[in-house]
Amino acid sequence: MTHVHKIYLYPLWLRIWHAINALGILILITTGITMQYSNPAFKLMNFELAVNLHNISGIAVSVSYFLFIIGNRLTHNHTYYRLKLKGLYTKLTLQIVYYTYGIFKNQSPPFPISEKRKFNPMQKVAYLIVMYLFVPGLILTGLGLLFPELILENIYQLSGIFLTAILHASLGFLTSIFLIIHLYVASIGKYPLNNFRSIVNGYHDTNIH
């Protein structure tokens, strides 16, 4: 006998932040690609519109990032990101083995979602890198490009703007790679759409045998 147990995992403020962030990042990726690979022969979008949308979404995502950090501090949400280095290698190996083997053998996940654990160790590492390294890096380099007078003119032989722009585009690319993986991993579970529903209504379904 299996019954479904619902855990309230995503509070309203977090869902609103997630929605704003998701929309903003999708616009940023689309407009970023439009600008980086702009081609008059094949126009995905008007360049000027892309620049304006990128600037507005960039500011919106930056503001929402700081609200996320504040929200994390004020609630217990930050506890989900706590990572113990001790035993991390073993935990990551267990999770990798599950994703590449166990999942196909209908084994139970080694780190199932519970009220105390929202993320498995691999997710924790990925989210920590993205949310505390890539996104702040993107915000800082983005601010630099928005206000180029803040950037050092030359760093050794290279232009400061050149380095900032390369770093911004590279971090943007890596974040879009994360987004693809993030969307795919979200489809893993008993039903592929469950996690997408959860981030809308806040409840995560767990099966209790």
Partner 1 sequence: MRSSLLSLVILFQFCFVQTLPAQEKQIAPENDQCIKCHTHQTITFENTLTKREDKRLMNPLYILDKNHFAQGVHGRFKCTDCHPAEYSHYPHKAELKLEPLSTCLDCHGGDARYASFQFEKIDEEFQKSVHFQKSGESFTCSKCHDQHYYQAKSRNSTEVGDIVLFSNQMCMSCHSNNNKFQLISDSLKPALAQIHEWLPNQELHFKNIRCIECHTQVVDSLSVSHNIMPKEKALKNCVECHSKNSMLEASLYKYKNLQGRSQKGKLHTIIANKAYVIGAYQNNLLNSVSIILFLVVLTGILIHLIARIVKK
β-strand pairing of 154-155 with 158-159: antiparallel
Q: Which residues bind partner 1 (CB under 8 A)?
A: 35-40, 43, 47-48, 51-52, 55, 99, 103-106, 148-149, 154, 157-159, 161-162, 165-166, 169-170, 173, 177, 180-181, 184, 188
Nearer to partner 1, 12 or 41 (CB): 41
Nearer to partner 1, 33 or 67 (CB): 33
Nearer to partner 1, 36 or 108 (CB): 36
CB of 119 to partner 1, least distance (A): 19
Encoded amino acid at 183, one letter: L
Cα dihedral value 141, 143, 145, 151, nearest 10: -80
CB of 109 to partner 1, least distance (A): 14
CB of 89 to partner 1, least distance (A): 22
Nearer to partner 1, 86 or 104 (CB): 104
CB of 182 to partner 1, least distance (A): 11
